[in-house]
Amino acid sequence: MTTTIDASEPEQQVAEARPGAWHEQPAETVLEALEAPRHGLGSDEARRRLELHGPNVLPRAKGPGVAALLWRQINNPLIYVLLASALLALLMGKLVDGLVVLGVVVLNTLIGFFQEYRASRAIAALVEFVPETATALRDGHRADLPARDLVPGDVVLLQSGDKVPADLRLFAVRHLQIEEAALTGESVPVTKETGVMGAGAGLGDRRNLAFSGTMITYGTGTGVVVATGQGTELGRISTLLEEATEVETPLTRQIATFGKVLTLGISLVALLLMGVGLWRGYPLVDAVLAAITLAVAAIPEGLPAIITIALAIGVQRMARRNAVIRHLPAVETLGSTTVICTDKTGTLTRGEMTVQALWTPAAGAYEVEGVGYAPEGALRQKGAAPYGLPDDLDALLTAGLLCNDAALEQAESGWRVNGDPTEGALLVVARKAGLCDEATPVAWPRQDAVPFESHRQFMATLHAGEEGRVAFVKGAPEVIARRCVRAEGAPLDEAEVLAEVERLAGEGMRVLAFARIDIADSELSEEAMEGGLTLLGLQGMIDPPRPEAMEAVRLCRRAGIHVKMITGDHQATAGAIGRQLGLLHREDTVVTGAQIEAMDEATLAETARTRTIFARVAPEHKLRLVRCLQRQGQVVAMTGDGVNDAPALKQADIGVAMGQSGTAVSKEAADIVLADDNFASIAAAVEEGRRVYDNLLKSLAFVLPTNMGEALIILLAVLFFPIFGNDPLLPMEPVQILWINLVATVALALPLAFEAMEPNVMRRPPREPAEPLLSRFVLTRTILVALLMTAGGIGLFLYEYHSMLGQGVAALPALRYAQTTAVTTVILFQIFYLLNCRSLRDSALEIGLWSNRWIYVGIFVLLVLQAGFVYLPFMNAVFGSAPLGLEAWAKATLVALVVLPVISVEKRLRQRQFHKQLARHEARRARHEAGKKR
């Protein structure tokens, strides 16, 4: 049956249609306003309108090119510091030193570039969201046109499998259903109609419109184009996407601040040192050389490479946990997230409708186990499985199986439904009860059907059975109940039926009623369904939460992360899922998009802070919520899969798109793409992000003491060491400092990126977004270890230098020997200190000596390289080093060992403080949860 416009309707006398409010206007008025004949525009008129309105395409921002990606890697304060150190080395005439530093810059840039280039190319390969062709009426004839050539006033024909090419006002439909989840968040296809919608209808309730980019799942329809290109709802979202601003990640901001502070500090100290050198009588060249040596010592040349490689390792590790990273800093940002705003359908839920409740008049309520399309799970009544399949239950499930146009099939990737998800759920529950969706239709061959229409609210199918013809009917419970005169196996009590419907609907379920009637004719008419039906029962279904999502939500909340559900689905459904996930408690209410629209900024700020479930929201509402939370200092992660999610994904500190169900637009706007569309993968990525940050912190705590220690060694030498002739006495040469910074430090720091996860990583609260990289812990540890390293390095240098002079060795060989001893002492300090850096609070014994074998690989490699530094003649010539005896190695080892007990005591003190903070966090969380439950 086809629904068409009726020119006799009184609403059709409206004189003028208002652009942008097409759903409020009768279809005839819209056609008149657009001067659109039902047989389609003429070719000349279409060309004129195309010149006036432009092509039906969305402008797509070009992704970053090769040059932009390269600049993104270089545009970093720490890279500037590296380039400055290279320039200084070249100005000193140290060609090798300068080229080595430049090599580090190139390596760091290439690692980041190839990671982001690979991700950007993968995203660019996605298909376009808007279809390439459309079927329209032109010059009175049906024609396949390029979708870009459609203009307002074109009459477009739609059929199952099509993507809607532009925004349409429908004026004829036949069983038309459209999947709008990508645009509105609606979890099931929307049945379309042609009547007038109310002025307050939200995007998901405008059932007389078909929106560009959505998918026809069933039926056919005809509509007139009311908007194209940027004027469509898809185009409006595109505009919102352009207005959304990309936010710097916390790590990016912290590195930038750290680089600026470090650059300023080094510059000031170097200038001060040059002044002191001149004051002490250094020649100008030597004073500048001392300042340059200090700058080279203080600059952590290897740190950018360490950070980039640690992030890249995090990228690979996250990929194994189904999170594909598009931008390197995003690896860490999830670890600092304080609020996760998540979509519902397909993320917290499976995106697969599932029957969870059955009710028959004779036996009452049954529960159905299992979720999703896999026909696995038992039927239970009051906790026990029924013996066999009761007749009343058999009749109810058979009706759902036969009054059905969907198909259930098993593919390599799992079970899937072809057709309406609601009907697919009916097939699944029938299979769970042992009914075969292949054999049953054979036993009950279909002879006729009355398709579902929105105005009649039911569907019926006629089947030939052993005892005659039977029509099975399914539809809205209130519609079916009033047509029934009896119930299967019990007296009919309509009030009881409607009470059960209300109970199930209160749990967020979509409820269908089922009935049957004996039919004598071989054809089925709508009039035959007007009365005399026998009620078989009810089936309640919902897109249920993923079991793993429930655990992931619990883990996130335990970690101090607030989880908020923001969905375009209905209020009751969102509330029911929220309660199952533990996000919604008794006194909480679901906030709707209409309520958000009416809120001022102060009210919205309080609502965003205290409420956890938001339903029936539009793209602009999601954007407002994200911005509101960011203004409160929150680090916001936003998940989504639809076009409607793209603006908020881009605005959020970390945008997370769905890899399987996500649209190309949402993936392009996101920083992370989940390969399995599962909220549990977000929790795993948060855990991995915290691990990455902890390991970066370990690397920072390892690298900076070496730089400060070297800088202090040079500073003290310039301040207090004697001057022999015109030559200052320096414990280390610039090229030797570069050896420590670029070779030794990097070789030892990189294995820290492979360290195991810290205990209790998901029990502690997120770190404060404003917390600097140079935290109290990093500063305290840096100063403590630097002082130990300085004392050991200078002490052994002076001891060896004067011992060699006392043995009659010339000044220059004595200096080379003493400098080599000092360098070796610092490197052994690093090796022993590395063992203490493997955990921020626990000892190496507690985390396991062999839990990270790469540590020992790094130590072995460095010892081999250091042996070459000490004993190979060509390295002696390049670095000014000298062979050492075993006694010098033994002394250096004993001095370096001091760092182990000192740091162990410091860690024990910090561990006690951490456990006190953790206990306070757990107590606050427990009080909050207890208050919510009350």
The β-bridge partners of 170 are 223
> Strand, helix or coil at 207?
coil
For residue 197, the tally of other CB atoms under 10 A from its CB is 18
β-sheet with 339-342: strand ranges across:
323-325, 672-674, 654-658, 636-640, 339-342, 562-566, 613-615, 591-592
792 touches 825 (CB < 8 A):
yes
Nearest of 174, 618, 642, 186 to residue 422 by alpha carbon: 186
DSSP string spanning 792-837?
HHHHHHHHHHHHHHHTT--HHHHHHHHHHHHHHHHHHHHHHHHHHT
* Dist CA 494 CA 500 (whole Å): 10
* Dist CA 620 CA 445 (whole Å): 50
Which residue matches tokens 């002879």?
447
Nearest of 372, 387, 508, 391 to residue 431 by alpha carbon: 372
DSSP string spanning 581-626?
HT---TT--PEEHHHHHH--HHHHHHHHHH--EEES--HHHHHHHH
* Dist CA 302 CA 104 (whole Å): 7
39 touches 155 (CB < 8 A):
yes
Which residue matches tokens 């209020």?
571
638 touches 655 (CB < 8 A):
yes
* Dist CA 457 CA 787 (whole Å): 81
Give whole-number Cα distances, 45 to 35, 49, 143, 154, in Å. Answer: 10, 6, 16, 10
* Dist CA 842 CA 533 (whole Å): 72
DSSP string spanning 427-462?
HHHHHHTT--TTHHHHHS-EEEEE---TTT-EEEEE
Phi, then psi, of 904 in degrees rounded to 5: -60, -40
Give whole-number Cα distances, 429 to 388, 408, 449, 513, in Å. Answer: 15, 11, 22, 15
Active site residue 343: yes
Give whole-number Cα distances, 278 to 82, 88, 296, 713, in Å. Answer: 27, 19, 19, 18
For residue 39, the tally of other CB atoms under 10 A from its CB is 12
Q: What is the largest CA-CA distance in the chain?
A: 124
* Dist CA 84 CA 98 (whole Å): 10
Name the active-site residue from 162, 167, 343, 671: 343
891 touches 796 (CB < 8 A):
yes
What tokens does 928 get? 């909050």
DSSP state letter for 370: -
DSSP string spanning 730-760?
-SS-HHHHHIIIIIIHHHHHGGGGGPPPPTT
Which residue matches tokens 């916390």?
250
Phi, then psi, of 695 in degrees rounded to 5: -70, -35
173 touches 164 (CB < 8 A):
no
> Strand, helix or coil at 569?
coil
Give whole-number Cα distances, 430 to 402, 425, 832, in Å. Answer: 10, 9, 66
Q: Which residues are known to be catalytic?
A: 343
